[in-house]
Structure 1
């Protein structure tokens, strides 16, 4: 038997921010907006606040989230939430504000520190409701039961999973992504592709998720280059947001694998954003992973446009990896060295990164389960 989880409501389309805000007071009437300085500077916070004020709600603001969600943001945001007697959260931004809002919801109703909840099944009390409004097309966090928070004391990205973290409302307005710069468009787009591909070839894949995965892969293959080349292309932006949404719905119910498992330690130790850390590892990880499940990777290759007639499953899978590599080249995804990471520092961190990758569990969902030594080799090859 399969079980399939989604948010209670998804609003999708150009202008969804303005047209759906009247639904939010039905949740409660004292929201804490969780966002970042960029959203404030470009006027998106004012747009949200103005729309919420029409509904006569009492608003509090926490706009100090940076590029990656960390435990200190969660602690401060929870304090503001409790001090102002807020009763629900509205997350506006990329994956960082959304993941931070999820963790604030968790900590508003559960004791201890956020570190106590790393893993699955540890959250005992449902927190205040969450409304998630993504402004990038990548993480899919607006529809998932996961949050990733960096433990700054131990330099570890903590994966926390609980059904209580699924937002009650997701507002996916592609117009909010028109201002996203080219490099972020590339990183978030490849991040969404990573979700779809990993989920489809995961040991935990399931039929309903497969439908969303393959649809997402087709959209990203067709529209990412367009969105990257012309940020004002509304059709491409809309299709990319839909692709990221599809990918999020899918992996919320199946699982990511080796790429995410390896990207979390890279991001935590070298302060690389989640999207970029996935993107730089994707091609090399898939070269390793396809050997374990080439027959399912045939469908990935075909969804990306590969001609697999007359090819064996493994040959077809390799054609798919070639197309992924070319897409990464076309949208200027660097290798790890291109991120400016010092080679000596990187090499000295290999043992910890490999250990942390295995400890977070995601590599075990890979059809070809990697050893610590194999993970180290993949890191080295990706550099």
Structure 2
């Protein structure tokens, strides 16, 4: 018998330069009368949030703002956001920003309609019923959160990042406008763009990959790898920004169904403990984890080399797979990605505890193409110490 697979994604996607102008129309289509805008203070300081809210004003749609979302947001932040949602009696939530703002918007949506508290929802399919109508507007090309049923929150007590996975976290609408990313500084362009590329690479090499997720991941890799250097060097290039945003979305669709693997499992403990930005943490761990994982699926890694622009003519599958790893190493160098954990205060004595944290991320390690042991985790961390 053949393998039975499922695929799910956001039901409505509005995308293209200038698409933000459709916001009022989309809110009205959902029956929105009172909108809670969930964002972060940095974005609020740029004036972009004001411009988005002006679009709601023109449609005479009441709105309020929650702008206290921090990087790697805690579950307490999501609870506070949900309290604001209830207080304002919002019937639509608008998540505006990067992955952190979108994830808090997602969780505040389900907390507004479910009882039991956020701690009861960590895990897979533990959200009892749908949340409020949700519109997600990414301002980075990275997380793909607008097309995933996943929200990641930090538990500072356990020094871990925890995930909620539920069909009820898919937004009603994803609105993608690459013009919103034109002002991103190079460092954020790289951190978020590498996150998108890693989503695609991990989805492609996941043990749960399917022909459909492979198709999405391959196109995402082609788009992001082919445009990230330009977006980094010339942030005003709208064509590069458009390809980055499309690639990020496709990568999100791929990993939402195939899953990510050990790169993310390694990134979570160092992100929670040392507050290393998620995209940077992933980028630091990418090459050593790919070197380790390569033996788990040499044919796929060999194919990956071609997607990354490497000439593999005449090479064996193993030689081509190594070319993929080297291509990712060179990309990190070109984009000036931080290379060492020690730059963030990590010490050798910290490695055993961090490695134990990796082994707790069983949801992701189950997707990994190679069995990972505790001693492997320690060795991989030390490769980039």
Question: Same fold by TM (over 0.5)?
Answer: yes
Shift in alpha-carbon separation, 1:46–1:117, aligned structure 2, 3 A = same
Q: Which moved more, 1:14-23 or 1:33-42?
A: 14-23
- Do the aligned partners of 1:137 and 1:244 also contact (CA within 8 Å) in 2? yes
Pairing partner for 1:206 from 184, 195, 210: 210
Structure 1 unaligned blocks of 5 or more: none
Q: 2:170 aligns with which of 154, 166, 172?
A: 166
2:356 aligned residue: 355
- Pick one of 4, 11, 19 that aligns with 1:8: 11
Which position in structure 2 is the counterpart of 1:26? 29
Q: Distance between the aligned counterparts of 1:150 and 1:106, measured in 2? A: 17
SS in 2 for 1:11: strand
CA separation in 1, counterparts of 2:143 and 2:15? 16
1:76-225 equivalences under 5 Å are 76-225=80-229
- Following superposition, the deviation at residue 23 of structure 1 comes to 1.6
Aligned pairs for 1:314-333 (under 5 A) are 314-333=318-337
For 1:279, the equivalent position in structure 2 comes to 283
Match of 2:381 among 360, 367, 379: 379
What is the CA–CA distance in structure 1 between the aligned matches of 2:247 and 2:211, rounded to whole Å?
Answer: 18
Residue matched to 2:59? 55
Shift in Å, 1:343: 4.0
SS at the partner of 1:64?
Answer: coil
1:333-352 correspondence runs (5 A): 333-337=337-341, 340-344=343-347, 347-352=348-353
For residue 312 of structure 1, report the CA deviation from its aligned partner.
1.7
SS in 1 for 2:106: helix
Change (3 A) 1:104 1:348: farther
TM-score by length of 2: 0.96
Would you say how many aligned residue pairs link Structure 1 and Structure 2?
380
Deviation at 1:135, TM superposition (A): 0.4
Q: TM-score, normalised by structure 1?
A: 0.97
CA distance in 1: counterparts of 2:301 and 2:233, whole angstroms? 28
Whole-Å separation in 2 of the counterparts to 1:265 and 1:224: 26
Give distance in 1, aligned partners of 2:307 and 2:182: 26
Contact 2:137 2:175 in 1 (8 A): yes
1:336 is displaced (CA, Å) by 2.9
The 2-side partners of 1:200 and 1:111 are apart by: 37
Q: CA RMSD in A?
A: 1.2
Q: CA–CA distance in 2 between the matches of 1:261 and 1:144?
A: 18
Q: Are 2:236 and 1:232 aligned?
A: yes
Measured in 2, the distance between the counterparts of 1:171 and 1:350 equals: 41
Secondary structure of the residue that 2:257 maps to in structure 1?
coil
The 3-state SS of whatever aligns with 1:65 is coil
**Are the aligned partners of 1:99 and 1:148 in contact in 2 as well (CA < 8 Å)?**
yes
Q: CA deviation at 1:380?
A: 0.8
Runs of 4+ in structure 1 deviating by more than 6 angstroms, as ranges, are none
User: For residues 155 and 368 of structure 2, what CA distance do their matches in structure 1 show?
Assistant: 25
**Residues 23 and 55 of structure 2 are in contact (CA less than 8 Å); yes or no, is this contact kept in structure 1?**
no
Q: Is the 8 A contact 1:159 1:360 kept in 2?
A: no
Cα distance in 2 for partners of 1:40, 1:342 equals: 30
User: Per the alignment, in what secondary structure is the counterpart of residue 137 of structure 2?
Assistant: strand
Equivalent residues of 2:284, 2:341 under 8 A apart: no
Q: Whole-Å Cα distance in 2 between the matches of residues 341 and 316 of structure 1?
A: 33
How far did 1:111 drift? 2.1
Once residues 315 and 83 of structure 1 are traced to their aligned partners in structure 2, the CA distance between those partners, rounded to angstroms, is 60
Give how far 1:364 is off: 2.3
Unaligned runs of at least 5 residues, structure 2: none
**Cα distance in 1, alignment partners of residues 157 and 28 from structure 2:** 38
Show CA shifts across 1:252-299 (max 9, x none). 111100001111111001111111111111011100001110101122
**Distance change (3 Å), C-alpha of 1:56 and 1:343:** closer
